[in-house]
Amino acid sequence: MTELPPTPSHTVGPFYGYALPFPGGGDLAPPGRPDTITVHGYVYDGAGEPVPDALIELWQSGPDGSRAGAPGSMRRDPVTGGFLGRNGVDFTGFGRIATDPDGHWTARTLPPGGPGAPYISVCVHARGLLHHLFTRVYFPGNAAANAADPLLASLDPVRRETLVATAGPQPGSYRFDIRLQGDKETVFLEFT
């Protein structure tokens, strides 16, 4: 059958900051969950400079591998028109974080589940980026599963390294830098 031609992408531009980020956007984990992990990193441009106007979106399965998600990432307050924050119980699987002036972002979330090597899907938006980019955060503790992952296995070791977070500095925290261009450029994905 004839497919409809798609609507073209455009850059998110410089002024999304009062529209897209929402309070608690990086706090995917319901408070008090002992298995909460911190995933954080910097976004760099081709000159190695931090990108202070990038928007990072995360989408992942729950620890049980469920990809059903849940509504309520950006609950609205019908009284004030502001945001209520997440309900503190549901795991929506979705996060959205604007990089700070240092180009840094942080998410507190639950570890994704299988089957296969667990990963968090990342969608990168930025001023200057005409079409968003997809990448993935894999975790260093899953060596055997990572080795069997079709995507990771298809990459040469230097490129593969860009998709695997490094543990630290605190227990349960993982650093994942995104390099848009140049040395150690992050592997970006297309889905066909």
Binding residues for another protein restricted to 132-151, rule: CB under 8 A: 132-134, 150-151
Indicate whether 123 belongs to the interface with another protein (CB under 8 A).
Answer: yes
Q: Compute the least distance from the CB of residue 64 to another protein, in Å.
A: 13
Q: Which of residues 32-71 bind another protein (CB under 8 A)?
A: 45-47, 49, 51, 57, 59-61, 67-71
Indicate whether 127 belongs to the interface with another protein (CB under 8 A).
Answer: yes
Q: Which two tokens stand for residue 102?
A: 């240092």
Indicate whether 153 belongs to the interface with another protein (CB under 8 A).
Answer: no
Indicate whether 107 belongs to the interface with another protein (CB under 8 A).
Answer: no
Strand 166-167 and strand 173-175: the pairing is: antiparallel
Vertex 159: Cα angle to 142 and 104 (nearest 5): 80
- CA distance to 12, 13, 26, 98, 108, per residue, from 23 (Å): 19, 21, 8, 11, 13
Q: Compute the least distance from the CB of residue 171 to another protein, in Å.
A: 25
Indicate whether 154 belongs to the interface with another protein (CB under 8 A).
Answer: yes
Indicate whether 159 belongs to the interface with another protein (CB under 8 A).
Answer: yes
* DSSP per-residue letters across 10-36: ----S-GGGTS--TTTTB-SPTT-TT-
Number of residues that bind another protein (CB under 8 A): 78
